A and B are shown apart, each in its own frame.
Chain A
Amino acid sequence: MNCRHFVPDVIDHARGVLLEPSRQRAVASHLLSCASCAALAEQHNAISLALRRVASDIPEQSPDDLEVRRVLAAFDRRRVRPRRMSVGVGLSLAASVLIVAGLSIGWKQDAPRSGAPAVAATPAAATDPSVFVALPGASALPHFERGEVIRVEVPSAGGAVQVDVLIGQDGLARAARLVQ
């Protein structure tokens, strides 16, 4: 068996890696009879020692309170960002849904009803413009108990159209309706 066969195990042996007993014996025996591999083992021993010094140069250190506070501030900023994005996506979806709804069922100039907003499950069901139309995917969102209606302007071919968007307490857009 030649040295090439032994080199990987010689390096692992020098690094202190536990080899299988039979391989360990074979390496130990080879090192006794091969000056070249013995020198290689010596070199890798020296590399291991030197690398241990480099490793200990940067000790393990738990973060202090200031570091934790800083990373928590980043956490808080990140947790807010998806909500903003959801509202943005929701507004885009609202515009799309309402334009399709308006084209498919026609726009009636009825007076808006008062009271709690009703939400139609599909655009086709929204024959009354005061009824909110559920946004695509809104049914998959968690149940919400309170929310707010925000009014936005959406650009369209005939000028800006005002849209009311129903936002749940979690910041996610649920439904929208056109405003006369």
Chain B
Amino acid sequence: MADEPRLSDDVLIARIGSGDREAFAELYRRHKSVVSRFAAHMCGSRATAEDIVHEAFVAVIESAARYRPGRTEAKLWLLGIARNYVRRARAIRRTTSLDEEPGAAALAVETDPLTDLERQRNLASLRRAIVALPMRYREAIVLCDLHEFSYADAATALGCAVGTVRSRLHRGRALLARDLCIRQEHPCPLPATTRTIS
């Protein structure tokens, strides 16, 4: 496969359906990262995310034969599979927070310890608030805001209408803002605002 020109995802999936392990390895190399980030943001745990990624790609082996090229982008199809495993994982596991995992603190780049601490606190509050959102709102925020997908792509991955994704995203953001300001564990990272709908 190394000598071949870059094959499309559709071709790789077709080859996986007929048992081509190199095609499977190539699909994994291309898309593991995006699936892993999606799962980690959805669960708030890198360890759980890695399990989900593994399960999702194993599911690809058996689903590849049923994949219909052109109906959906392969990346969105993979995220749709991962989403099912996220839902299962949420049902059966207690996830540990990203903040509790080794290496989380090492991600900070600030040199001032106080700024660094404040930044970590704000990030931790945000992560907790995202993971605490109801699944349908969390999915919209993770795909549209964290992964910067268009409404159309997010709708494909989630299997719903574009308008549904948009309204879920807006509702999720409103919940996020409210949650972050109501908890009062730390100073609210968002500017205060009062809404008066005329």
Tier of interface size on chain B: 35 or more
- Number of A-B contacts defined by CB within 8 Å: 120
Known A-B contacts: A54-B126, A63-B33, A75-B25. Give 11 more (CB < 8 A).
A3-B197, A11-B170, A36-B194, A36-B197, A43-B191, A47-B190, A61-B36, A63-B29, A75-B21, A75-B24, A78-B58
A39 neighbours in B (Cβ, 8 Å): 191, 193-195
Whether the pair A71, B19 counts as a contact (CB closer than 8 A) is no
Alpha-carbon separation in the docked complex, A66 to B194 (Å) = 52
- The contact string, 1 if C-beta is below 8 Å from chain A, for chain B 23-54, is 01100110011101100110000100000001
Whether the pair A58, B41 counts as a contact (CB closer than 8 A) is yes
Whether the pair B127, A54 counts as a contact (CB closer than 8 A) is yes
Does B173 interact with chain A (Cβ within 8 Å)?
A: yes
Alpha-carbon separation in the docked complex, A12 to B144 (Å) = 11
Whether the pair A2, B141 counts as a contact (CB closer than 8 A) is no
- Nearest chain-A residue to B39 (Cβ)? A58
Whether the pair B177, A62 counts as a contact (CB closer than 8 A) is no
Does A51 interact with chain B (Cβ within 8 Å)?
A: yes
B47 → chain A closest CB, angstroms: 13
Alpha-carbon separation in the docked complex, A63 to B123 (Å) = 25
Does A50 interact with chain B (Cβ within 8 Å)?
A: yes
Whether the pair B198, A2 counts as a contact (CB closer than 8 A) is yes
Does A110 interact with chain B (Cβ within 8 Å)?
A: no
Whether the pair B41, A54 counts as a contact (CB closer than 8 A) is yes
A51 neighbours in B (Cβ, 8 Å): 126, 141, 145-146
B46 → chain A closest CB, angstroms: 8
Whether the pair A72, B141 counts as a contact (CB closer than 8 A) is no
Whether the pair B177, A47 counts as a contact (CB closer than 8 A) is yes
- Nearest chain-B residue to A63 (Cβ)? B32
Give 12 pairs: A residue, B residue, CB < 8 Å, sorted on A.
A12-B166, A39-B195, A46-B189, A50-B122, A51-B146, A54-B41, A57-B123, A60-B37, A68-B29, A71-B57, A74-B61, A78-B58
Does A20 interact with chain B (Cβ within 8 Å)?
A: no
Alpha-carbon separation in the docked complex, A75 to B54 (Å) = 11
Whether the pair B25, A62 counts as a contact (CB closer than 8 A) is no
From B58, B123, B127, B194, give the contact of A74 (CB < 8 A): B58
- The contact string, 1 if C-beta is below 8 Å from chain A, for chain B 59-83, is 0011000000000000000000000
- The contact string, 1 if C-beta is below 8 Å from chain A, for chain B 131-160, is 000000000010011111000000000000
B141 neighbours in A (Cβ, 8 Å): 51
- The contact string, 1 if C-beta is below 8 Å from chain B, for chain A 60-93, is 1111000110111011101100000000000000
Whether the pair B32, A55 counts as a contact (CB closer than 8 A) is no
